[in-house]
Amino acid sequence: MICFSLGIPGKFSTWCARLLFQVMERSAPTVTSMVTTGAVDTAALMLIRSNVSHLVMSVDEPDAELLALLIETGAPFLLALDDPRTVIADYWTQGHTNVTSATRCTANLCPMLLNCRLLPGVLVLTAQEVLANSTDAVLKLARHFGVALSPEEAGAILSLLDREGHVAHSGNGIDTIPTVARRMVEGALASYAAAFTGAVLGEIMWTRELFAAANDPSGYPQGPIGLRDTHNGRCLIYGPYIRLPAGTWIARVFIGFSSEAIGQTIYLDAYCKSSGQLALSKLNLARGDGLVGELHFSLSEGKTDPIEIRIMVSRDSAPGQLTFSHAVLHPSILGSANKWQGDEFPAVLNSRSSSSGATR
């Protein structure tokens, strides 16, 4: 038998994969093996080459072929859902400093994992559930994969995982992450954390740390950017290359501009590789220091490549400066006011609430 375990790479998904391995070993006295990769063909070839009876595959990023196979066959599989913010916190405490990249990678996995909750053969295990009653979680997993297991045997498996050094939950929370990165992590992942426990997916915020300035892609747009500092087709700012679940979305992009920029025109657009340009919005920089541009777009199932939001200026050598705070994305069933009261346009940089915005 081939068994798949899916989840965001981290302590909890590793613990779950090891748990599945131990449970399957109880079901067959012959040797069971475990690999970590993500292709349908690879599973069969591994099983044949390793000459074992069962194969447990821990998959970091299942491809379309694997998902199609799970839908088509209704095969039982394990979905390990930890709070994605905890995954980032663990990543940080292990000494990895590129929290931005980790946030982007984790956010890219979340839509797919959310969809997997709906597949016919899924067994969802959450870290909270395991913490509440680990023996019950083990027995539930065994039943799902058709393995007869007693509570005593479940306890023995848990003890073995402890001795091997695998932990289901590290105890690291978002407060472990440096303050400067917490807003980014919280904004990109908090809604998924709730959705993984069954809540409706809510608002997602992509802070400027996830974007790049066209004239200096090595960093993020920290301060004012001159409207003449464009690159590659009058582009000023672009990013964050993060996937969203299929559906209809409203993106609100929070921008500030200097008085010299009044009268200029900028464009916002959203783009993804499989669908091309998703939405385009033209904004005239009129009186005031800031505005919120809106983009309305839809993503079809199967066409959920990473999203790019771009801020572009309409002409070369335009005067003035622009600041970018963040983008907030709502599934379109939600409505939200977007009033913002600001005095100076750089104050946009300090904008903290998604419900704040400049009146136009």
Partner 1 sequence: MLYFVIGLPGAFMRWCENTVVRLLPDAKILRANNPADVTRGLVCGDATNTVVVTVHPSGRLRAALLESGHPFIVISDDPRRVLADITARGKCLIDAIRIVASGCATVSDSKIVSNGLVLSADAVDIDVAHLEAMIVRHLQLPSKPIGMIVPREATIASDFSHWWEELDVGERALVGDAIGGYMVRDPQHPLRLVWRSALFDVEDAPGSSADRLIDITGRARRLFSGPRIVLPQASWRLTLELNLIGASVEHTFLLEISAGHLLASRSIKPEREGAMAITLDFQVDDTADHPVDIAISLQKAAFDGLVALKTVTLVERRIES
- The closest alpha carbon to 314, from 263, 240, 277, belongs to 263
In whole angstroms, the minimum distance from the beta carbon of 43 to partner 1 comes to: 5
Q: Are 305 and 294 in contact (CB under 8 A)?
A: no
Complex with partner 1: residue 41 or 343, whichever CB lies closer: 41
In whole angstroms, the minimum distance from the beta carbon of 50 to partner 1 comes to 8
Residue 5: CB minimum distance to partner 1, A: 12
Residue 195 C-beta-side C-alpha neighbours within 13 Å: 23
Which residue among 91, 92, 145, 324 contacts partner 1 (CB under 8 A)?
A: 145
Instruction: From 9, 34, 122, select the one nearest 70 (Cα to Cα).
Output: 122
Report, in Å, the least distance between residue 27 CB and partner 1.
Answer: 9
Contacts of 222 (CB under 8 A, 6+ apart): 208, 349
Nearest residue (CB) to partner 1, 52 versus 167: 52
Q: How far is the CB of 118 from partner 1 (least distance, A)?
A: 18
Judged by CB, which is closer to partner 1: 10, or 76?
A: 76
Query: Which residue spans within 8-146 are E strands per DSSP?
Result: 32-36, 54-59, 77-81, 122-126
The Cα 51–Cα 223 span in angstroms is: 59
Contact criterion met (CB below 8 Å) for 89 and 177: yes
Tokens of 331: 């599934």
* Residue count (the chain): 360
Task: Please list every residue from 265 through 304 that binds partner 1, using CB under 8 A.
Answer: none
In the complex, least distance from residue 157 CB atom to partner 1, rounded to whole angstroms: 19
Q: Which residue has the tokens 């501009």?
A: 257
**How many C-beta atoms surround the C-beta of residue 35 within 10 A?**
15
Q: What is the DSSP string of 194-221?
A: HHHTTPPP--EEEEGGGSEETTBTTS--
Report the C-alpha gap between 88 and 217 in whole angstroms: 23
Binding residues for partner 1, total number by CB under 8 A: 30
Q: In the complex with partner 1, which residue's Cβ is closer, 57 or 168?
A: 57
Q: Which of residues 22-81 bind partner 1 (CB under 8 A)?
A: 28, 30, 40-45, 47-51, 53-54, 65, 69-70, 72-77
DSSP, collapsed to helix, strand or coil, labels residue 270 as strand
179 contact partners, CB below 8 Å, separation of at least 6: none
What is the DSSP-derived secondary structure letter of residue 257?
E
Q: Which is nearer to partner 1, 42 or 338 (CB)?
A: 42
Query: How far apart (Å, rounded) are the C-alpha atoms in residues 339 and 343?
Result: 13
Cα radius of gyration (the chain): 23
Q: How far is the CB of 22 from partner 1 (least distance, A)?
A: 16
Binding to partner 1, residues 151-210 (CB under 8 A): none
**Smaller CB separation from partner 1, 3 or 137:** 3
**Residue 1 makes contact with partner 1 by CB under 8 A:** yes
Q: In DSSP terms, which residues pair with 279 in a beta bridge?
A: 270
Distance in Å, CB of 61 to partner 1, minimum: 17
**Smallest gap, in angstroms, from Cβ of residue 129 to partner 1?**
24
User: Pick from 95, 118, 146, 198: which binds partner 1 (CB under 8 A)?
Assistant: 146
Nearer to partner 1 by Cβ, of 28 and 200: the residue is 28
Build a one-symbol-per-residue string for 95-134: x at contacts with partner 1 by CB under 8 A, - elsewhere: ----------------------------------------
Residue number, 12 or 145, with CB nearest to partner 1: 145
Which residue ranges make up the site for partner 1 (CB under 8 A)?
Answer: 1-4, 28, 30, 40-45, 47-51, 53-54, 65, 69-70, 72-77, 145-146
